Each structure stands twice: as C-alpha cells, then as structure tokens.
Chain A
Amino acid sequence: MATTSLATGRAVPGKPKSNFFEQVKKQKELVLITIPFIVYFFIFNYLPLWGLTMAFQNYKPYRTFWEQEWVGFKHFQKLFTDPAFYRVLRNTLAMSLINLAFSFITAIVFALLLNEIPKQLYGFKRVVQTISYMPHFLSWIIVCGLVSTILSMDDGIINNLLLALGLVKEKIHFLGKPEYFWWIVGFTNVWKSMGWNSIIYLAAITSIDPCLYEAAAIDGYGRFGRMWHITLPGIKSTIIVLLIMNAGWILNAGFEIQFILGSNGLVLDVSETIDIYVLKKGFAGTAGSGFAFGTAAGMFKTVCSAAILLICNKVSGWLGEERLV
C-alpha cells in the first residue's frame, strides 16, 4: 500500500517504488484479467509467425515439422525470377499510387467545399455529409456489383449516357478493357471513401481560428484567397501525416475489388495484385504443393510493408509531426 493510491493504482508522489512482484501481487485482479488477453494475442497473432518457416522448406503437409526438407531461399529465388511476380508488383504499385493521389485530392477538395457551404444551408450540409459517408459502409462485393451494373454493356447508365450525348458511337465494354481497369478501381475508391476521408480534414478545419478569416477578409482576400492562404495551411500538418502514413500502406492496393472485377479473365494482366498472387499461388496445385511458395510470397510482402511503414513513421517524426505508431 506504500506506493500506489488505494483507489486507482496511480502513483503517490514521493514514495519509493516497490519491486515488480509486490506490484503484481497488489494488482493481481488486473493481472488476472490481462493474462487471457496476452494468451489470446499470442495464439492468434504471434503463433502463426511460426508458419513462416514453411517459406524455407519443401513443405509437404503429411510430414511433421522435423521431417520437412529445408531448401533455404529456393522459393524466394523462384519468386524473384517469376515474370508474373513483377507484373503483380507493378499492378499493386500503380493502383496504390492512383488510389492515393485520387483519394487524397478529392477528400481535401471535398472538405474545403463542404466548409464553404454558407451557414444558412447548415441542414443541406448535414445531408450532403450523411450521404457522402454512406458508400464507406457498403461492402466491396456490393460496390463491385454496383460498378458492374453501371458500366454494363447491357443497359448500363454510363454507356447509355455516353450514347445519348453522342460521345461514343457504340457501347464500350469498360470492364473488359485492360487500359481502363486501374482508373475504374481509382474512381471506385473515390466514390467509396471520399466522404469518409473528408471527415478528418473537416475536423482539422473547424480547429482553425475564425479570426484568421476575418483578418484575411479585411486584408482583401477573396473566397479562394482565404481557402488557399488560411484553410489549406491550417490543415497542412494533418495532410502531411495522413499522406505519409498512407504511403506506408503502398503494397496494400486492395484485394477485393481487383479479385472480383478482375475475375472475368480479360483484364487479369493488369488486375492481379500481390495479395491475389499469394492467394492463387498458395492454394494452387494438389495436396498443398503451393503452400510453401505462397508463404514465401506473402512473407516478402509483409517484410517490405513493415520496412516501408517504419520508414514512413520515421519521416513523419523528422518532420516534427506526431508519430502515429
């Protein structure tokens, strides 16, 4: 009872710290609650790491761990000499960059414009916000279904509109043309996440001191001048932190939309990402012959992702922004 207050276990200043075991004894209730959680995280998140050993074995499911044949980096060599691997890497990076650029710019512009809706139209602003968040809650499956309906050759609204406006002579098979695929993914991402991503910028905008706007107005800045010189600098740090952190997820270009919209075979060359590659290689072949290779490919992605995340986190720290990890 000497070092911690009765009530909350918080330190009472000025008393010496007791040793570890005394503290554990004193807080045994909290410790007892915590242990199952540690065990849980260990089983579901740390134990599978053991499975990474498969990446270095000629894994056969019917053998025990001790009977497996160790092959060193053979699977990684195979991975780095597979032309398909470079193709999926290219697709992943391309779609990630398109998504990053698109969703960043649109979310910021959307937040700026929402902020410019006059105060008298507050109700309208709320409605726009509520509706723009909605797609975030739809599953990718549903979104893919909607996209394929809209872009359909058979009575899809986009084709009908283009025809009616005379912009095209005949209907375009959007989902069957490799040159459109990345952009369709990009636009779909914007549709799904623009409203949701704007929340954080809107919140940052509300914390800007209103006096600044008044001062700028007196100095003769117009609407756009104020947006450019007050609002944007005001949310600059939020933008930088989010940009860096999102750059950390560059190898996660998404999985579901490419998997489903790309499944028609015509666009496989441009649609497959690393995740799809891991899935297909891992569960390919009979009797689990692809497990080892799939694990190796997955491991490559995890290691690179972790490295990129750490770098981004460091960069964020150097720039004097709050570190997120």
Chain B
Amino acid sequence: MKRSVGDKIIDAIIVFFMLLVIIAMLYPMWNTLAVSLNDARDSIKGGIYLWPRKWSLYNYQSIFKTDKVFNAFLISVARTIITTILNVFFSGLLAYVLSHREFVLKRFTTVFMLMTMYINAGLIPQYFLYRNLGLNNTFWVYILPAMVGAFNVIVIRTYINSLPPSLAESAKIDGASEMKIYFYVIFPMCLPVLATVALWVAVGAWNDWFTSYIFAPKQSLSTLQYEMMKIISSSMQQGAAQTPDYLQQSKSQQSSMVTPNSLRASMTIVATVPILVVYPFLQKYFVTVNIGSVKE
C-alpha cells in the first residue's frame, strides 16, 4: 500500500503518542533509580529528575548493612526459587497426567481442580486452616499453599495436547514409566510453556507481601515486599498529618546520612530489579501462551 502525506502525518502522531507512553511508563522507575543513586542529604533539596546530582552508593550500603533488610532479601529469594521449582514441576506433572485422554480420573480431577479457581472460603477460614496445619509463622506457609496452580495446569496441558504424541508413545513401548516419560520426554519438550509459567509463579511469589502480613508477621520471616509495605504505609500515615509548612521545617531539620525517601527509593530498586532483569528474555513466549489459555 502506498503511503500518502496524510498517512505520514498520522504515523508521526502515533509515534509521538507512543513516545509519551514510553515516558509515562519509564519515568517513575527511572526517577526512583536516580534518587536512589543520589546522596541522601543532597536529595532533600529536591529537583532530582532524570540524573543523580551527587553520586553515592551509600543508600544501598546502608540498607544492606541492616540485618533486617538482608534477611528479608534472603527469604524473598529462597521462597521465590523454591516455589517456582516446585510449582512448575508439579503443575507440569498433573498436566501430563491429565493429557491422557482415556485416563479414568481425568474428568473428575479436572473438575475438582478447576473448582478451586472459583470457590474460596475467604480469609479467616484460610487463616484457621493454616493455623491448624501449623503453618503460621513458619517458612512453609510460603511454600506449601503454592505448590500447584489450577490455571497453570490447564495452560501446560493445552500445550502438551498440541505436541505430537509419538515420542511419549515410543518411550512407553520401550517400557519407560510415566514419571520417566514426564521427566525425560515431556518436560524438555514443554520448556517454552514451562518458562512462562515459571515467570508467573516467580513474579507472584516475589511480589507477595500479604502472606507475610497475615500468616507470617514474624520479623525473621519478613520478605522484601513486606518490608517495603511497612515503609510505605508508615510514610503514608505520616503524610496524612503533613502540611506544606511542616515539610519545610523537616527539610532543615534533616541531618542524618539517609532519609526515608532515599531509603525507600533504593529499597524499591532492590525489590524490582530481579524481576525486570528476567522478564525481557521470556517476553517472546507471552503471546502464544496467552491465546492458548483463552481458548481453553
């Protein structure tokens, strides 16, 4: 199709609009990064937008020096890695089992599992369940309830069903057990979909603070997101009492090396970067899996 002058003007407008979108999406994080890398006492003067004025890594040093944050970081990493591995493995296993079209329990298991997406006893019965199971205030409360996801199973099963069945069949004829077929044949073939599911699970586990808030408020089990939540809520509550005059006053009174704002900025970066580093690599899988899940 030929492009007229009018078309070119429209193109220019669209490109301009998209640039605005990029700026709107990137600016808040970019600004936070700049503030986190700027000297805290210098930041109080304001006016840090895109670039640090006085470079300093002190904000990062000071948050990692506190045991609280470092411990929370370790808990976050541990729960994310363990949950992701277990969830992907078990969701994939159940998906493989349910991909057998003649399996006797297929219908029952599928319905029993899908129902879990729609029924929900609510927060307090859940709290009691975890308490009765002895999960509250233990590391297990991060792991056990998140070992299989119904939605993940459906997505993986759809993918397995689209694979040619001949490989699994020939392995079966060679006498391989179902577990072996899953592990050596199905698992490697499903890597694209498993990577996507892994990303969902990992993002969910990393970003979750509510589990800590309700079920594991103990400091030694705190996660990075929960620490963030505490910092932000307390700053919100202080904010309620603030008037502009009060702000002016507090500016001159600041004398410590780190300020709440700088601390918050560097915590934000630490709590975000691990996710942002991984996701562009997995982006190419999103579209296929999204469509697959909707058709289901």
* Residues in chain A within 8 A of chain B (CB atoms): 4, 6-11, 20, 23-24, 27, 29-31, 33-34, 37-38, 40-41, 43-52, 54, 110, 113-114, 116-118, 121, 124, 127-135, 137-142, 144-150, 152-155, 157, 170-171, 175-176, 191, 195, 199-200, 202-203, 213-214, 217, 222-223, 238, 241, 255-256, 260-261, 263-266, 278-279, 282, 291, 294-295, 298-299, 301-302, 306, 309, 322, 324-325
Is B225 close to A, CB under 8 A? yes
Question: Which of chain A's residues has its CB closest to B229's CB?
Answer: A141
Is B219 close to A, CB under 8 A? no
Asked if B209 and A200 make an inter-chain contact with CB atoms under 8 angstroms apart, the answer reads no
- From B6, B14, B133, B169, residue with most partner A Cβ within 10 Å: B14
| Least Cβ–Cβ distance between A168 and chain B, in angstroms | 13
Contact (A131, B6) CB under 8 Å given A48-B121, A141-B209, A146-B28: no
Contact (A7, B101) CB under 8 Å given A45-B119, A153-B242: no
Query: With a CB–CB cut-off of 8 A, which chain A residues contact B129?
Result: 43-44, 47-48, 51
Mark the stretch among B54-62, B65-73, B188-196, B285-293 that contacts chain A: B285-293
Query: With a CB–CB cut-off of 8 A, which chain B residues contact A147?
Result: 28
Asked if A299 and B116 make an inter-chain contact with CB atoms under 8 angstroms apart, the answer reads no
Asked if A124 and B15 make an inter-chain contact with CB atoms under 8 angstroms apart, the answer reads yes
Contact (A301, B122) CB under 8 Å given A9-B103, A145-B232: yes
Is B184 close to A, CB under 8 A? no
A-B contact pairs, 16 of them (CB 8 A): A8-B165, A9-B100, A34-B109, A38-B105, A38-B109, A43-B133, A114-B18, A117-B11, A129-B283, A137-B207, A141-B209, A146-B268, A149-B31, A222-B6, A223-B6, A295-B122
Give Cα distance in the complex from A199 to B284, angstroms: 11
Contact (A145, B268) CB under 8 Å given A52-B125, A127-B22, A155-B46: yes
Query: With a CB–CB cut-off of 8 A, which chain B residues contact A27?
Result: 100, 103-104
Query: With a CB–CB cut-off of 8 A, which chain B residues contact A263?
Result: 233, 236-237
Query: With a CB–CB cut-off of 8 A, which chain A residues contact B122?
Result: 48, 51-52, 278, 294-295, 298-299, 301-302
| Least Cβ–Cβ distance between B165 and chain A, in angstroms | 6
Query: With a CB–CB cut-off of 8 A, which chain B residues contact A175?
Result: 236, 239
Given contact pairs A30-B178, A142-B271, A298-B121, a sample of 7 additional A-B residue pairs in the complex whose CB atoms are under 8 Å apart:
A37-B148, A47-B129, A49-B125, A137-B207, A155-B47, A157-B31, A306-B119
Asked if B272 and A50 make an inter-chain contact with CB atoms under 8 angstroms apart, the answer reads no
Contact (A294, B97) CB under 8 Å given A41-B116, A118-B11: no
Asked if B244 and A153 make an inter-chain contact with CB atoms under 8 angstroms apart, the answer reads yes
Among candidates A8, A132, A149, A153, residue contacting B247 with C-beta atoms closer than 8 Å: A153
Is B145 close to A, CB under 8 A? yes
Among candidates B7, B113, B247, B294, residue contacting A200 with C-beta atoms closer than 8 Å: B294
Give Cα distance in the complex from A144 to B239, angstroms: 14
A-B pairs, 6 with minimum CB distance: A51-B125, A298-B122, A139-B207, A48-B121, A7-B169, A264-B240
Asked if B97 and A30 make an inter-chain contact with CB atoms under 8 angstroms apart, the answer reads yes
| Least Cβ–Cβ distance between A213 and chain B, in angstroms | 8
Give Cα distance in the complex from A238 to B129, angstroms: 39
Please count the residue pairs between chain A and chain B whose beta carbons lie under 8 angstroms apart in the complex: 280
Query: With a CB–CB cut-off of 8 A, which chain A residues contact B133?
Result: 43
Contact (A294, B22) CB under 8 Å given A41-B116, A176-B240: no
Query: With a CB–CB cut-off of 8 A, which chain B residues contact A298?
Result: 121-125
Query: With a CB–CB cut-off of 8 A, which chain B residues contact A144?
Result: 232
Query: With a CB–CB cut-off of 8 A, which chain A residues contact B165?
Result: 8, 10
Asked if A48 and B15 make an inter-chain contact with CB atoms under 8 angstroms apart, the answer reads no
Asked if A10 and B100 make an inter-chain contact with CB atoms under 8 angstroms apart, the answer reads yes
Contact (A139, B206) CB under 8 Å given A8-B172, A34-B97, A130-B283: yes
Query: With a CB–CB cut-off of 8 A, which chain B residues contact A176?
Result: 239-240
Query: With a CB–CB cut-off of 8 A, which chain B residues contact A38?
Result: 105, 109, 112
| Least Cβ–Cβ distance between B233 and chain A, in angstroms | 5
Asked if A23 and B22 make an inter-chain contact with CB atoms under 8 angstroms apart, the answer reads no
Query: With a CB–CB cut-off of 8 A, which chain B residues contact A261?
Result: 236
Contact (A40, B7) CB under 8 Å given A139-B271, A141-B225, A266-B240: no
Of residues 105 to 121 in B, which have CB atoms within 8 Å of A's CB atoms?
105, 109, 112-116, 118-121
Give Cα distance in the complex from A170 to B229, angstroms: 30
| Least Cβ–Cβ distance between B66 and chain A, in angstroms | 18
Is B157 close to A, CB under 8 A? no
| Least Cβ–Cβ distance between A123 and chain B, in angstroms | 12
Asked if A121 and B15 make an inter-chain contact with CB atoms under 8 angstroms apart, the answer reads yes
Query: With a CB–CB cut-off of 8 A, which chain B residues contact A4?
Result: 102
Asked if A146 and B29 make an inter-chain contact with CB atoms under 8 angstroms apart, the answer reads yes
Of residues 123 to 139 in B, which have CB atoms within 8 Å of A's CB atoms?
123-126, 128-129, 133
Among candidates A8, A10, A325, residue contacting B114 with C-beta atoms closer than 8 Å: A325
Question: Which of chain A's residues has its CB closest to B230's CB?
Answer: A141
| Least Cβ–Cβ distance between A108 and chain B, in angstroms | 14
Among candidates A118, A149, A299, residue contacting B28 with C-beta atoms closer than 8 Å: A149
Is B85 close to A, CB under 8 A? no
| Least Cβ–Cβ distance between B121 and chain A, in angstroms | 4
Among candidates B11, B25, B225, B228, residue contacting A131 with C-beta atoms closer than 8 Å: B25
Give Cα distance in the complex from A175 to B119, angstroms: 35
Is B24 close to A, CB under 8 A? yes
- From A116, A155, A191, residue with most partner B Cβ within 10 Å: A155
Asked if B25 and A195 make an inter-chain contact with CB atoms under 8 angstroms apart, the answer reads yes
Asked if A142 and B268 make an inter-chain contact with CB atoms under 8 angstroms apart, the answer reads yes
Contact (A24, B118) CB under 8 Å given A142-B228, A157-B31: no
Give Cα distance in the complex from A279 to B121, angstroms: 13
Among candidates A10, A141, A255, residue contacting B228 with C-beta atoms closer than 8 Å: A141
